[in-house]
Chains A and B, each alone.
Chain A
Amino acid sequence: MSENMDNNKESLFSLKNRKLLSNPLSKENPISVQVLGICSVLAITVQLRASIVMAISVIAVMGFANVIISLLRKTIPPRIRIIVQLTVIASLVILVDQILKAYVYDVSRQLSVFVGLIITNCIIMGRLEAFALYNKPWPSFLDGIGNAAGYGWVLLTVGFFRELLGSGTLMGYQVIPDALYEVGYENNGFMILPPMALITVGVIIWVQRHRDRELIDVS
């Protein structure tokens, strides 16, 4: 990754930069491959709306945090880098939290502490440590957005299935027709419980490994 540093004349969307954006979506997905940030997937995917807001919040926080740390990377003393990173993330999270409270108050209530807990999301710290500290702002930005998007699509998929099967709704609107309920269909209460989020993530991992054999870890 550090070879980006000595390549000054690289175009904005070179192959390498596009890879930064696209790899975390599949081969290096933070959730399904690196198994990071699982807690929030279990906690806030009961409703699709909350998942979407959470995904957007994380994209915003990660994009900006990566850029800021990347800009500061030469001035941060290595011994206190963790606390600097945390300060940056925490400030961004407070910003996001205030914006959510101002514009989508009900979702903000629903997400409750989990917006604050974005600070402890291991994906963000991980990318700052592994990438932003050693790379220029633009690649860092792409890396942040890419990883957050990789996190986001898993979140949305899990949220989609959990809300559809658990509550019969999507974004709060009923999508399973009443006729189906009349013939005996019922919402699956298990889908609302956290274990089912874990199983759904497991199924995503299974499908992904099945399609991309090189991800299978035989050890």
Chain B
Amino acid sequence: MKALHDFLENRIKPHFVKGGRLEKFYRTFEAFETFLFVSGDVTKRGSHIRDAMDMKRTMFHVVIALMPVMLFGMWNVGYQHYQAIGQESGLIDNFIFGLLRVLPLIVVSYVAGLTVEFIFASIRDHEVNEGFLVTGLLIPLVIPVTTPLWMVAVATVFAVIIGKEVFGGTGMNILNPALLARAFLFFAYPAHLSGDDVWIYTGLEQGQQLVDGFTGATPLAMLTTGEIENLPSLMGMFIGSIPGSVGETSTIAVLLGALILVATGVGSLRIMLSVVAGGLFMGLLFNLFAVNDYMELPAHYHLVMGGFAFGTVYMATDPVSASQTGTGKYIYGFLIGVVTILIRVVNPAYPEGMMLAILFMNVFAPLIDHYVVQANIKRRLRRLKT
């Protein structure tokens, strides 16, 4: 370690500091330096007490919390593939197959996004933020495994520039960048993000063919088209061996991630609970006034289908784009749940409503906060007067 540090400090750094040949790339160098070692910069005046929970550590907690869904997603990609071609496969086969399919998505998303981040950091002369570590991993997990790589790159660049950098970079964004990337793909290349053919990597080689009765439809698509009798079992959907975006299928893996997020204090339990409450509320409301099969679907089914669990735990809790106030978080989360189920059941054009619901409520989050703060001021003024 010491040798590496000395090597960086004495051999590499002089090229990048002011006056060096590669002065322009100082921020790039700095990012890698602080990635390996703690930043050498110290405060110049006065003393500051800082929590060890800085942005880098927060982001890493989220990345760790994403590991269960990522690993399960990789397994599921392989499992769905071998099921589709009717081939027996073991746990390892499934996982290796999925790894080889998902890894390129992750690499492309990181390379594209970090390139933009580095360019903006150099232009604006600030440190490269760690925020993209999470976004870069979220993007591959919320898209189908068959998405072409160049589209992933385009969507990532769009999300980082239009979703984040125009507003001033990490911490200033109105919308969740990862969801923005998905929304961009959804509207720009709908053929690759909806329908029945994209969720499972089939990639038939010679001599292989799809099993009889293979549809590739997600549970939500089945419900939208009225094939309610083909729905997988509740347990199957809870475990997650169903078609869907890479990371969203397994509720059990998401719960594991939620445990990590809540235990480390990174994710807001208030938001998670209120999203679930909102979803259940709307589901029950539909049950009460049911006029078709979809509306009669038990409310708890909604929680394990599609991206509901994933969105609740990883997307809705994004500390930047969510509401900041305590009461605001309840309102924000509850409305996400309500709108999601509303879109799912009522609008046949969008089988899944989680993405649109969260983006929609992201826009409203500042408004909710404003009224919560105003109400608080009013309440305290009244107390003062009495």
Q: A residues within 8 Å of B by Cβ?
A: 184-186, 188-191, 193, 199, 202-203, 206
Q: B150 to A188, Cβ gap below 8 A?
A: no
Q: A202 to B187, Cβ gap below 8 A?
A: no
Q: In the docked arrangement, what's the CA distance between A184 and B187, Å?
A: 18
Q: A190 to B184, Cβ gap below 8 A?
A: yes
CB-CB under 8 A from B190, the residues of chain A are 189
CB-CB under 8 A from B151, the residues of chain A are 186
CB-CB under 8 A from B207, the residues of chain A are none
Nearest CB of chain A from residue B184's CB, rounded to whole Å? 6
The 22 listed contacts between A and B (C-beta, < 8 Å) are A184-B148, A184-B150, A185-B150, A186-B151, A186-B189, A186-B191, A188-B188, A188-B189, A189-B187, A189-B188, A189-B189, A189-B190, A190-B184, A190-B187, A190-B188, A191-B188, A193-B187, A199-B162, A202-B162, A202-B166, A203-B162, A206-B166
Q: Mark B154-179, 1 if CB is under 8 A from A, else 0.
A: 00000000100010000000000000
19 additional A-B pairs beyond A189-B187, A199-B162, beta carbons within 8 Å, are A184-B148, A184-B150, A185-B150, A186-B151, A186-B189, A186-B191, A188-B188, A188-B189, A189-B188, A189-B189, A189-B190, A190-B184, A190-B188, A191-B188, A193-B187, A202-B162, A202-B166, A203-B162, A206-B166
Interface centre among A184, A190, A202, A203 (most CB of B within 10 A): A190
Q: In the docked arrangement, what's the CA distance between A185 and B151, Å?
A: 9
Nearest CB of chain B from residue A139's CB, rounded to whole Å? 37
**For chain A, what secondary structure do more than half of its interface residues adopt (helix, strand, loop), or is it mixed?**
helix
Q: B residues within 8 Å of A by Cβ?
A: 148, 150-151, 162, 166, 184, 187-191
Q: In the docked arrangement, what's the CA distance between A185 and B153, Å?
A: 13
**For chain B, what secondary structure do more than half of its interface residues adopt (helix, strand, loop), or is it mixed?**
helix
In the A-B complex, the 6 residue pairs with the closest CB atoms: A190-B188, A190-B187, A188-B188, A189-B188, A184-B148, A186-B189
Q: In the docked arrangement, what's the CA distance between A51 and B371, Å?
A: 42
Chain A residue at minimum C-beta to C-beta distance from B188: A190
Nearest CB of chain A from residue B156's CB, rounded to whole Å? 15
Q: In the docked arrangement, what's the CA distance between A189 and B162, Å?
A: 17
CB-CB under 8 A from A190, the residues of chain B are 184, 187-188
CB-CB under 8 A from B184, the residues of chain A are 190
Nearest CB of chain A from residue B350's CB, rounded to whole Å? 15
Q: In the docked arrangement, what's the CA distance between A158 and B184, Å?
A: 18
Q: In the docked arrangement, what's the CA distance between A185 and B154, Å?
A: 11
CB-CB under 8 A from A199, the residues of chain B are 162
CB-CB under 8 A from A189, the residues of chain B are 187-190
CB-CB under 8 A from A202, the residues of chain B are 162, 166
Chain A residue at minimum C-beta to C-beta distance from B166: A206
Chain A residue at minimum C-beta to C-beta distance from B189: A186
Q: In the docked arrangement, what's the CA distance between A184 and B149, Å?
A: 10
Q: In the docked arrangement, what's the CA distance between A186 and B148, Å?
A: 10
Nearest CB of chain B from residue A122's CB, rounded to whole Å? 25
Nearest CB of chain A from residue B73's CB, rounded to whole Å? 24
Nearest CB of chain A from residue B151's CB, rounded to whole Å? 8
Q: In the docked arrangement, what's the CA distance between A188 and B154, Å?
A: 10
Chain A residue at minimum C-beta to C-beta distance from B190: A189
